[in-house]
Chain A
C-alpha cells in the first residue's frame, strides 16, 4: 500500500507532523477527538439519497483530478451534481411517501367556508326586517373597544368569530346573540356564544337528556348519608336519596340563555345542555382544566354528574352570574311591583332615560356598575326552591333541610335584588372584587372605562357612553387566595357495635360437648350427694 497518490482519498492524512490546524486546537488528544468527530459527521448517511458527504467529496475530488477541467472553481457545483447523478440508483423503495396534507389546508378550507355566502341570503334579509333589532352582535366593534383595554383576540380571529356567529344565526332560530368569550383548554379551546332563542322555541325533551349521566343524589348539601346501594335482597334499605333539586326552567334563572360552543370558528356549533343545580354545586367544589373535547369525562371527587360539556356549562353559568355587569340604570325593572314577589324580578328592560355617567366617574366608583344577571344561590339555582314540598317559596326556613347561615345571607344579598351594585361585592382578604381602570390616561375624551374582575380572572367589561359589553378570556376558574383543597371523603360510617351476642365463635366440637356434659353430670351428682349428706345430717 504505497505512498498515496494525489488523486486518491486519504492523501495527506498519514503525515502526522503536517496539520494546518495546529494553532486552533493545541492538545493532541483533543485534536484527534475533534478529527474523529468531524469525520464521523461527514460520514453520516443522508436519509433521502443514501449518500454521505465524505464519500461524495472523495468522488468529486477524484473526478476533478482525473479530468482536470479548466476553471474548476466556477463549475464545481455542476461537477457535484454530475457525480450525484452518476450515483443514481433506481429507487428500491416501493412505498411512496404520502403527500402529507398539512393541517393548514384543512383549516383554510373551513375558514373559506365561512366566507362563502350561502344561497339563503334573501331569506335572511326578510327575517331581519321583521325582527326590528339585529340579532347579530357587532363583534368587531366590541373587539375594538376591548383592544383599547389591551384584552382580546387578534383581528383575524375576531372576524372569523363574527362570521361563525352569522352562520349560527342562519341555522338556529335566534333572537339575540352575543359573543360570550373564549375558554382555554388543554388541547383545544372553546369559543362560546350566548344566545337567546326566539320565543316559542322550547327545548326538546330535557327529561330524557343526560339524566343517565346525572346522579340522583345531591352532592352539595352537607348530609352525611352518601350513596348506598340499594340491595335487592332482604333486608331492604330504607334509605331514600335526598330529593333531586329540579333544574330551572328554560328561559329563567341559570338557564336564561342557551350557549353554543365551537372549538374553532369554522367548526360546527354545538349546543350545550341546560345546567342543573347539582352540577353547579359540584362545580364549585372541583377545579379542573378543560381538555377541549366536549365528551371528555370529568374525573373528580366529589364525582361530577356529567361530562365536560356539563362542566363547561356550569362554569359558564357561574361566570355569567358573577361577572356580567352593566352601567347602573341601564336596565331597570319592568314592573316595580314584581320585585317583591316570589321568583324575583326576572325580567328587566333597557331604560330609555338612561344617562350614561362620564367615563371618569365610571372608573372611580364601582357604584356605577350593577349586575344584570341573578346570582346563584348555594342551592345551585337562582330562585330558591324547597325540594321536599316542591312549591316555590322564597327564603323560608325549613327544618327538613339543613341550611347553613351563609345560605340565608347569600339569598339576601343576591336573591331578589337583581340589579345590585357591584360595589357590594365582597372581596377576598384585602383584594377588592373588581379593578377599574381607564383605557388611556393620555386622551381622556375618548378613553373607555374598563373593569376587571378579581374573582374570576379573565372576566372584563367595558363601558363608554351607552355602549357596554362583557367578555371572558381565560381558563374558566375562580380565583382563590388559598390553594384549592379537594373535599375530603366522608368519614367511614360506623359499624353496628359488635357485642357478644352477634360475635361469631367457634362451635364446640363433639368431644368438647361430651366432656362438658359429663362434667355437668358429675357436678350434678356431687350436688345431689351433698344434698343427700346434708339430708342425712339433719
Chain B
C-alpha cells in the first residue's frame, strides 16, 4: 500500500491521496483509495484494488446506482464482476431496466461505487475548523488549525460532515450569529438521527491522547483525532452494510 499510493498520486495528478478503507467481501476484500485535486469539496475520485497493487478507477456514482444499491442486501462477494440478480429483489426496478434495454442485474462494481459514496456522504467527518471556505467558494485546508482541545474533542458538535450542508439554513438566527461562516459551513454531527445518544460512539483512548469516534450506523467506520494537533482521519473496515437495526440496538 505504501508503495502504490504515491504512484497513484503521480499518475492521476492528485494533490492528496489516501487510503479510504477496506470492504470485506465473502471471498475477498476490496481496498479503496481516494484522491483529490486542489479543491477539497469537489467530488472525489475513487479507486479500488483487490491486492493493493493494481488500482482501477471507479466512475462517480449516479442516483440510479445509489437507489439500486440500497435494495441489494447481504455481503459483498469479493468479485467485481459478480452480478446481483435484481429480479428477486425489486421487481419494479428490474422491469424498468428491462424496458430501457438493459439487463436486470446489478454489477458488484456498481454496488461498490454506490456504497462507498453513501458511506462518505453519511459518515465522512472532519473536525471543526479543519477546513475553511474562501469567499470565492472553494474549500481549503486551514493551515492555522491547531486541533481541538480535549473538552471540545469530546463534544459531538465539534465534528462536521464533509458534505454539502442540507440543514444549515434552517437554524435559528440566534445560532447563526455564533457561527463563523468560514469554518461553520458544514453540518454538525449532533443532529444525526437518532438524537440524544446519537449514532456515534466517542471514546478517548490511551488516556485522552486520541479521540476515536465510531459510527454506529455504518459499523466499521472509525474516525480518529489527536487533540491539539493537526492529525485526524477516518477509515472504514467492514462489510459495507448499513446497520438498519440501530434503533433497536441503543
Contact = CB atoms under 8 A, between A and B. Distances in A.
Interface of A: 102-108, 111, 156, 184-189, 286-289, 429-432, 435, 452, 454, 457, 475, 477, 479, 481-484, 486
Contacts of B201: 184-187, 289
A286 B248 CA distance: 8
B45 to A, nearest CB: 25
Interface string B70-84: 000111000000000
Nearest to B22: A150
Secondary structure type dominating chain A contacts: loop
Nearest to A150: B22
The 3 tightest CB contacts between A and B, nearest first, are: A107-B207, A103-B208, A484-B245
Interface string B216-250: 10010000000000000000001100001100111
Contact of A481 (B74, B150, B207, B214): B74
A431 B26 contact: yes
B146 to A, nearest CB: 16
A179 B60 CA distance: 44
17 contacts: A104-B206, A104-B208, A185-B201, A186-B216, A187-B201, A189-B203, A287-B245, A287-B248, A288-B250, A429-B74, A431-B74, A435-B26, A435-B27, A457-B238, A482-B73, A483-B244, A484-B248
A103 B204 contact: yes
A435 B244 CA distance: 24
A475 B26 CA distance: 19
B209 A104 contact: yes
Contacts of A432: 26
Given A287-B249, A457-B239, A481-B73, A103 B207 contact: yes
Contact of A187 (B203, B219, B239, B244): B203
Contacts of B102: none
Given A104-B206, A104-B207, 7 more contacts: A103-B204, A104-B208, A104-B209, A184-B201, A481-B73, A481-B74, A484-B249
Interface residues of B, number: 25
Most buried by A among B197, B214, B249: B249
Contacts of B24: 452
A104 B211 CA distance: 12
Contacts, number: 65
B75 A454 contact: yes
A457 B240 CA distance: 12
Contact of A102 (B27, B73, B150): B150
Contacts of B245: 287, 483-484
B160 to A, nearest CB: 21
B49 to A, nearest CB: 14
Contact of B75 (A103, A156, A289, A431): A431
B207 A288 contact: no
Nearest to A103: B208
B206 A107 contact: yes
A482 B241 CA distance: 11
Contacts of A429: 74
Contacts of B214: 184
B74 A188 contact: no
B244 A289 contact: no
Contacts of A452: 24
A111 B209 CA distance: 14
A108 B206 CA distance: 8
